[in-house]
Amino acid sequence: MSDAAQNAAPADVNDLFDLTIIGAGPVGLFGTFYAGMRGMKVKLIDSLAELGGQLSALYPDKYIYDMAGFPKVVAKDLVRDLSAQALQFAPTVCLEEKVMTLTKTDEGFALGTDKGVTHRTKTVLITAGVGAFAPKKLEKAEFARFEGHGLHYVIPKLEIFKGRRVLVVGGGDSAVDWALALNEIASEVTLIHRRDSFRAHEDSVKKLHASTVRVMLFHELEDITGDGAVNGAVVYDNRSKEKTTLALDDVVVNFGFLANLGPIKTWGLNLEKISLVVNQQMETNIEGVMAAGDITTYPGKLKLIVTGVGEATMAVCTAKMRCDPKASYFPGHSSGNAAFGEGGH
Ligand SMILES: Cc1cc2nc3c(=O)[nH]c(=O)nc-3n(C[C@H](O)[C@H](O)[C@H](O)COP(=O)(O)OP(=O)(O)OC[C@H]3O[C@@H](n4cnc5c(N)ncnc54)[C@H](O)[C@@H]3O)c2cc1C
C-alpha cells in the first residue's frame, strides 16, 4: 500500500457511505477529492495494491505532457499529488479488493468483493478504466522465458536501463516516448517499427528523428537471444527479408494493452463494446450508478486524464443531488470554499 493510502481513514466496512468509487486511477482519485469537497462520506476501492491506476501500474516514470497546469509531469508524481489531494478529506480506502457484484438494495447498493466483504453505499461511481488490463505480448511462447530477464512489457523504473543497450519495439506513442526517455539514460537505443510511419504525436516523432535513437522502419522482431538473460535480438526488414543481429541488454515491447471489464459486464449496465454508456450527468442506465473516465462512452468522448477528471466532477455532483435532493448541482468555486479556510465568496 502506498504511504498516501496508509494515511487514509481505516475502512469501516459496515458503515453506509454516500458514495463508493470503484477504481483508484486518476479519475477515481479526483472524484474522491471532489466528493470530500462536497461533504460526502466516500469510500474508494481498487483491486491493485497501489493508488494511481494505469499511471502507477503501466507507466510510472513516463512524462505526461497534456495535463492542465503542468508543462510536463512524471506519471508517479501526478499520482502522488492526486493522492494527497484525494486523501485530504480522509476517505475510506480499500486496496487489493476487486468489486465482483453490484446489487440494488433499499438504501442504495451492496457491493460484493473478492475478499468476501459487502460494502453498503447510497450511490456508486465506476471509474474502473479499462478494467483489469494486461499488455499484449509477443506471439512466440518461447520468449516468455526472458520476461524479468531483459524482456519488458511495462517499465516500472527507468533507472534500471542506465548504461544498457535497449531495443524498443512498436510504432505508437508509447514506443516513441519510451525510446526518447530511454535515450537519456541507456547507452544505446534502437527502435524498430513494422511500418514507415508512426501512430504517435507529431511533435514526439519530430523529436525522435532529431534524436540519436537508431530508428529502423519496416523492421520486425524475429528472435531474442540469450542464455538466461537477453543478450541480443535478430530483426528483419519485412520488404527485403534481410536480417540484422543486434547486441542488446533489454527488449521493450509496446504493442498496447488488452482490456477486460471482468465482473462489471454482468451488472446490467448498458455497454457499447467495453465502455459504459453515460448521459451528460455521467449517469448509467442504473439510477444511482454513475461512471467517469476511460470506462465511459458518449458522443465526443476522449480517453484522456484531463477529460476524465472533469467527468468525475460532474458524476460526484450528480451523486450529491441523489444523496441530498436539496443540494445544488453546482457547488460554487473551490477558491471560495470554507473547507479551504477562506470563507465564502
Ligand atoms: C503508456 C500509457 C501512456 C499514457 N499517456 C497518457 C497521457 O500522456 N495523457 C493522458 O491524458 N492519458 C494518457 N494515458 C491514458 C490514461 O492513463 C488513462 O486515460 C487514465 O489512466 C484513465 O484513468 P481512469 O481513472 O479512468 O482509469 P485507470 O487509470 O485505468 O484506473 C482504473 C482503476 O480501476 C481498477 N479496477 C478496475 N476494475 C475494478 C474492480 N472490479 N474492482 C476494483 N477496482 C477495479 C483498476 O485496478 C485501476 O486501478 C496513457 C495510457 C498508457 C497506457
Nearest CA to ligand 1 atom 5: 64
Burial class of residue 71 (count of CB atoms within 10 Å of its CB; 0-12, 13-18, 19+):
exposed
- Give Cβ neighbours of residue 154 (< 8 Å, ≥ 6 apart): 57, 58, 59, 135
Do 72 and 98 sit in the same domain of this protein? yes
pLDDT (tens digit, 9 = 90+) per residue, 31-88? 999 999 999 999 999 998 889 999 998 888 889 999 999 999 999 999 999 999 999 9
In-domain check, residue 345: no
In-domain check, residue 247: yes
Higher confidence at residue 54 or residue 6?
54
Q: What percent of the chain has pLDDT over 70?
A: 93
Q: Across residues 220-232, what is the average pLDDT?
A: 97
* Torsion angle, alpha carbons of 115, 116, 122, 126, to 10: 40
Do 245 and 141 sit in the same domain of this protein? yes
Edge-to-edge strand list for the sheet holding 296-297: 271-272, 275-277, 296-297
Do 315 and 203 sit in the same domain of this protein? no
146 φ, ψ (degrees, to nearest 5) = -90, -10
Query: Ligand 1 pocket check: which of 29, 54, 255 to mutate, most ligand atoms within 8 Å of Cβ?
Result: 54
Domain stops at, among 212, 233, 253: 253
Count how many domains the chain has. 2
pLDDT at 339: 54
Domain stops at, among 199, 225, 253: 253
> CA quadruple 28, 321, 284, 106: dihedral positive or negative?
positive
Do 21 and 91 sit in the same domain of this protein? yes
Instruction: Name the β-bridge partners of 131.
Output: 260
pLDDT at 323: 96
Q: In terms of residue numbers, what domain contains 158?
A: 137-253
Q: Residues lining ligand 1, judged by CB closer than 6 Å? A: 22-28, 45-48, 53-55, 58-59, 62, 64, 66, 98-99, 127-131, 174, 262-264, 293-294, 303-306, 308
Do 114 and 147 sit in the same domain of this protein? no
State how far the Cα of 40 lies from the Cα of 341, in Å rounded to an integer.
Answer: 18
Alpha helices, H only, the chain: 3-6, 26-37, 54-57, 75-87, 173-183, 202-210, 305-323
Domain stops at, among 195, 221, 253: 253
Ligand 1 atom closest to the CA of 293, numbered from 1? 26
- Distance of CA 221 to CAs 12, 42, 53, 153, 275, Å? 51, 48, 30, 14, 33
Q: Across residues 182-208, what is the average pLDDT?
A: 95
pLDDT at 344: 38
Q: How confident is the model at residue 286 (pLDDT cuts 50, 70, 90)?
A: very high
In-domain check, residue 151: yes
**Cβ atoms within 10 Å of 194's Cβ, excluding its own:** 13
- Provide the CATH number for the domain around residue 282: 3.50.50.60
